[in-house]
Structure 1
Amino acid sequence: MDKNKLKTIVEKSNNIVFFGGAGVSTESNIPDFRSSSGLYTTSKNRKYPPEYMLSHTFFKNHTEEFFEFYKGEMIHINAKPNKAHMALAELEKREKLKAIITQNIDGLHQRAGSKNVLELHGSVYRNYCTKCNKFFDLDYILNSSAVPICHKCGEIIKPDVVLYEEGLDMDTINKTIEYISNADVLIIGGTSLSVYPAAGLVEYYRGDKLVLINKSETQYDSKACLSFQQNIGEVLGSII
């Protein structure tokens, strides 16, 4: 019944915004962070905690170890878009979905065909020299030795992803706030909404059609008009 209600809400709206977290990509076999099978659990036997290994300090002070962890755990070149990614791309194609706001860095929304994707935490597909800002693609990073070096000026290349201790891009934040504030329908999926500042962006939604899709409860469940504790691909795939 709830899926039918969601389908009706979607059919009646041409101003939908989607806000997604790690759970959107778990169905593409990309691990999340905090679940029992997530990265923070499976990486506990490493010399350093994974949270520290994904920090700006670790990148600066242990660069070679950072890239060993980053290449091995954060890049998933064989992952393919799942039903959730495809459904959202279709909704955008039908001019119903105005924007996707994602905390993921895997680029799967774009690979599914979505155009207007706001990446709060950046992307593994973008990399830049820390001195001259020259751009490098993902292949350059993967094919580099221990630490990727700019062939123009000889400095270290950094992935364009937001590490711990780094701030979010304000232009992306401002666009996110604008889309959420003006949305008729806000669909949130694959996130527990427990990590700030990203989770706080939901507070900007002014409408009455908040839809939550997550395997566990969130602090916003009581504010939602619909809440699903199911696979996001199954739910979104059913409304297309």
Structure 2
Amino acid sequence: MNFSELKRTVQESDNIVFFGGAGTSTESGIPDFRSADGYYYINKTSKYTPEEILSRNFFLEHTEEFYQFYKKQMIYPNANYNPGHEALVELEFRGQLKAIITQNIDGLHQMAGSRNVLELHGSIQRNHCMNCGTSYSLKYVLNSMNTVPECQQCTGIIKPDVVLYQEELDTKLLQNAKSYIAEAEVLIVAGTSLTVQPAAGLIRHYSGDKFILINKSATPFDGIANFIIPDRIAKVLAALISHNVD
């Protein structure tokens, strides 16, 4: 299948599911984990790996150090959605895209205008007091006078609504994601190494023959993908939805 045929396949489908990872947001200036500009490279001189810092135990035992890393490396308040996000909004508007399943926590899909977004790993946009459960915005966390933001109601510690290492994903959310993928005609997977479980395992629930994989580096699922495109995600998605003749 050449790109023109692939494009026609996408444009004729009314049951598309998009599964995305960090690469979806790199063109918005947010680094991924394992590229040359990712968190591992940025923190190669640190005594802790990003995975250690972003674990529940580390959050509970070294909360101040967690927040120092989190505010500096995980939050990009000036980041904006890119043409890839916009292409997905357009697909949803046309009634073709049924769901976006994302491993990202930046909230850029919603910022762009997407409505049915399943955030497997939560979102930096939502935060809550671990003691009384009061909800707080990202702005509140960033504007906190203390390194560790405290609840205004009970002075409890505020935790981001993100799934840390050692924490389990929401069971209902996972089941919904499985259902969307299992029922999809076209599955577009982009910007993910497909190595983080259990999220990566969701791909195995797809049984169709229109599995499109957009990623610059190889993944464990390259062998079962029907179409592999090692290029920029925003460029590819914009081209897939364009009505221009190739």
Indicate whether the TM-score tops 0.5. yes
Shift of 1:207: 1.1
Within-5 A mapping of 1:38-57: 38-57=38-57
Answer whether contact 1:26 1:32 (CA < 8 A) is retained.
Answer: yes
For 2:14 and 2:6, the matched residues in 1 are separated by 14
For 1:31 and 1:5, the matched residues in 2 are separated by 32
1:223 matched residue in structure 2 = 224
Mean CA deviation greater in 112-121 or 4-13: 4-13
Q: Does the residue aligned with 2:159 lie in a helix, a strand or coil? A: strand
For 1:238 and 1:159, the matched residues in 2 are separated by 36
Unaligned runs of 5+ residues in structure 1 are: none
1:175 matched residue in structure 2 = 176
Q: Does the residue aligned with 2:178 lie in a helix, a strand or coil? A: helix
TM (norm. structure 1) is 0.97
Q: Deviations over 1:129-150 (max 9, x none)?
A: 1011111000110011211111
2:154 matched residue in structure 1 = 153
Shift of 1:49: 2.1
Mean CA deviation greater in 172-181 or 41-50: 41-50
1:138 matched residue in structure 2 = 138
Answer whether contact 1:3 1:235 (CA < 8 A) is retained.
Answer: no
Letter in 1 for 2:42: T
Shift of 1:48: 2.2
Shift of 1:55: 0.7
Shift of 1:195: 1.6
Answer whether contact 1:17 1:100 (CA < 8 A) is retained.
Answer: yes
Q: Does 1:19 align with 2:4?
A: no
Q: Does the residue aligned with 1:72 lie in a helix, a strand or coil? A: helix
1:8 matched residue in structure 2 = 8
Shift of 1:168: 0.6
Shift of 1:220: 1.6
Letter in 1 for 2:182: S
Shift of 1:206: 1.5
Within-5 A mapping of 1:52-131: 52-131=52-131
For 2:238 and 2:163, the matched residues in 1 are separated by 30
Identical-pair percentage:
57
Shift of 1:64: 0.8
For 1:30 and 1:4, the matched residues in 2 are separated by 31
Letter in 1 for 2:216: K
2:198 matched residue in structure 1 = 197
Q: Does the residue aligned with 1:150 lie in a helix, a strand or coil? A: coil
Letter in 2 for 1:75: I
1:234 matched residue in structure 2 = 235
Shift of 1:219: 1.9
Shift of 1:222: 2.3
Unaligned runs of 5+ residues in structure 2 are: 242-246
Give the aligned CA root-mean-square deviation in angstroms. 1.1
Change (3 A) 1:2 1:112: farther
Q: Deviations over 1:99-153 (max 9, x none)?
A: 0000000001111110000000000000001011111000110011211111111
Q: Deviations over 1:41-87 (max 9, x none)?
A: 21122242221111101100111111111000000111111111110
Q: Deviations over 1:184-218 (max 9, x none)?
A: 11000001212211110000012111000000122
For 2:34 and 2:178, the matched residues in 1 are separated by 26
For 1:226 and 1:128, the matched residues in 2 are separated by 41
Q: Does 1:214 align with 2:215?
A: yes
Q: Does the residue aligned with 1:36 lie in a helix, a strand or coil? A: coil
For 2:46 and 2:138, the matched residues in 1 are separated by 25
Q: Does the residue aligned with 1:140 lie in a helix, a strand or coil? A: helix
Mean CA deviation greater in 1-10 or 202-211: 1-10
